[in-house]
Chain A
Amino acid sequence: MNASINQQSTWNVQKIRQDFPLLQEQVYGKPLVYLDNAATTQKPAVVIETIGQFYAKENANIHRGIFCLSEQATKRYKSARHKIQEFIHASSDKEIIFVRGATEAINLVAQCYGKSFLKRGDEVLITHMEHHSNIVPWQMLAETNGIKLTVVPINDHGELMMEEFQKLLTDKVKLVSVVHVSNALGTMNPVKEIINAAHGKGIPVLVDGAQAVAHTRVDVQELDCDFYAFSGHKLLGPTGIGVLYGKKNLLEKMPPYQGGGDMIRSVTFEKTTYNDLPYKFEAGTPHIAGVIGLGTAVEYIQSIGLDRIEAYEQELLKYGTEKLLQVPGLRMIGTAAKKSAILSFVLGEAHAHDIGTILDRQGIAIRAGHHCAMPVMQRFKVPATTRASLAFYNTFQEIDRLAEALREVIEVFK
């Protein structure tokens, strides 16, 4: 198949690439091929400029100053929250809690919801394809609250075994926490179906959307999820900022996460009254520049359009899958029918780490390892995989370069 005829005529990937300064860089004298988007995405110039501009011209603390700069910063901070509310289609900006990332968002739910409402013997149902960040917080809760962790198995394609899910969804389950898109396999899980089934039994559902929000349209009201967690830096935004969406009625009955400034209404040594949502969960000076930068990232991604992004990435995935399967000895790990543009594979006798080094010298950045999903590696009986994770600024030619470089790996290992 000819690469160029695959591309939609309205989709100008070269023009999009111009928006990303880092994509213009070279490594070892070769143009960078950045295929580690599941780890973190590159940032468009407009996001970098927004953050620079904030520190250069607008920096002040929010919610306190009675001077012009502080008022401006507060306004921009609030406006970013509103943009993110619209981006995931939440019904209120009070439901958007700023945290450091998806990891902290899940920990917040485990600590605030879990510690208050889950008790000994209750079960939290997760899946075999969770990132460590959706396993360990629940194990920690198991230690303090005596809850039990149950796990939905996956089949050889890396898909959830839904009939097993139905069986595991017993009356003991008090929370379901499931990844929307697997970072190690690319599987897009049927979260809507999972949420419907859980709600049928009155069980709330947390969705880990870290790998989803930059690649597919997310509507938390349509999904009807109770919590949705994601990171800014996988969404073209800065590191250190992320979002926990939570339904207002749940967030309201949860105790605060951390104590400090901003999360209170009044403090005396005898009694403290907590602030309203979302501030109740945002103690201390927040990552103001990060929030504003994330607001710009979300605007940028909307200007391109998630439907178009998803359509293009699906073409890249189809082309990439075909191309890589032509590489002798390559075995794809994660062959779900519904996938995001993640190509995780093993190649003959070559260890992922060696593949990573050889590709790196060709200017190709991929991830080699267990992808913080060691149970997935154990399930497929591999120590590690090589993972190319694509974004809408990647090209068909870059996939060709990856396939070519993999043939060099075979040369070294023959």
Chain B
Amino acid sequence: MNGDIRELYQQMIMDHNKSPRNFHPLENADRIAEGYNPLCGDHFKVYVKMEGDVIKDISFDGAGCAISKSSASMMTTALKGKSRQDARALFAEVIKMLSRKIDEPFDPGKVGKLSILAGVCEFPTRVKCASLAWHTMLEGLEPTGKQVTTES
């Protein structure tokens, strides 16, 4: 099998795709944000329950490809219990990692387990898949009242 493909579809990614974590609507969510990729039909809702400035609980549901779904799943596990500020900082690091140039180095320490998505940058058409849930989450934290879309 093609090495790049193996790199992209690593076991952990496929595991999150098959058994996504926090994959359900959240009762009593403070915020529900909706993200949509009109090009491929990926469509997710991200639910956020805040306690003061801390993300008490976060979940998602919807449908999409393996990359978008596993990225959303890993995001929910990474953000639970994080402060708004930390979530925003992690968002920035993840987006930086996903959209960097292939030969550009990045610091895996800043994103923890999410570094498994580092290979996505080699597939420019898939960066939007991996970042969809993250942009949706940000809309949940800092609402503008708009549906999040990959095409704007």
Residues of A within 8 A of B (CB): 28, 349-354, 357-358, 361-362, 368-370, 377, 383-384, 408, 411-413
Contact = CB atoms under 8 A, between A and B. Distances in A.
Interface stretch (B39-47, B83-91, B92-100): B39-47
B125 A357 contact: yes
Interface string B94-113: 00000000000000000000
Please list the 8 inter-chain residue pairs (A to B) with the smallest Cβ-Cβ separation, ordered nearest first: A351-B65, A353-B65, A383-B41, A361-B2, A353-B40, A412-B9, A354-B66, A384-B41
Contacts of B81: none
Given A351-B66, A408-B1, A412-B9, A357 B123 contact: yes
Given A352-B40, A368-B40, A384-B40, A412 B5 contact: yes
Residue among A357, A369, A377, A413 facing the most chain B CB atoms (10 A cut-off) = A357
Given A353-B64, A383-B41, A408-B2, 14 more contacts: A28-B2, A351-B66, A353-B42, A361-B2, A368-B40, A369-B39, A370-B40, A370-B41, A377-B41, A383-B42, A383-B43, A408-B5, A412-B1, A412-B14
A383 B125 contact: no
A353 B129 contact: yes
Contacts of B39: 369
A361 B4 contact: yes
Contacts of A358: 2, 5, 9
Interface in B17-69: 18, 39-43, 63-67
A349 B66 CA distance: 9
Contacts of B66: 350-351, 354, 413
Contacts, number: 56
A352 B67 CA distance: 12
A29 to B, nearest CB: 10
Nearest to B125: A357
B149 to A, nearest CB: 15
Contacts of B2: 28, 358, 361-362, 408
A351 B67 CA distance: 10
B46 to A, nearest CB: 18
Interface of B: 1-2, 4-5, 8-9, 14, 18, 39-43, 63-67, 123, 125-126, 129
B99 to A, nearest CB: 17
Contacts of A362: 2
A350 B65 CA distance: 7
Contacts of B123: 357
Contacts of B14: 412-413
A350 B18 CA distance: 10
A350 B1 CA distance: 17
Contacts of B18: 349
A354 B67 contact: yes
A412 B15 CA distance: 11
A383 B43 CA distance: 9
A352 B9 CA distance: 14
Contacts of B41: 369-370, 377, 383-384
Contacts of B63: 383
A369 B40 contact: yes
A369 B14 CA distance: 21
A383 B67 CA distance: 15
B40 A361 contact: no
A72 B38 CA distance: 46
B135 to A, nearest CB: 17
B129 to A, nearest CB: 7
Contact of A354 (B1, B4, B9, B43): B9
Contacts of A353: 40, 42, 64-65, 67, 126, 129
Contact of A357 (B8, B42, B43, B64): B8
A86 to B, nearest CB: 39
12 contacts: A352-B40, A352-B65, A353-B40, A353-B65, A353-B126, A357-B8, A357-B126, A358-B5, A361-B4, A383-B41, A383-B64, A408-B5
A412 B9 CA distance: 7
A368 B66 CA distance: 14
Nearest to B3: A361
Contacts of B5: 357-358, 361, 408, 412
A414 to B, nearest CB: 9
A357 B40 CA distance: 12
Contacts of A361: 2, 4-5
A405 to B, nearest CB: 10
Residue among B1, B8, B40, B129 facing the most chain A CB atoms (10 A cut-off) = B40
A404 B42 CA distance: 27
A383 B41 CA distance: 6
Contacts of A408: 1-2, 5
A98 B120 CA distance: 43
B114 to A, nearest CB: 19
B73 to A, nearest CB: 14
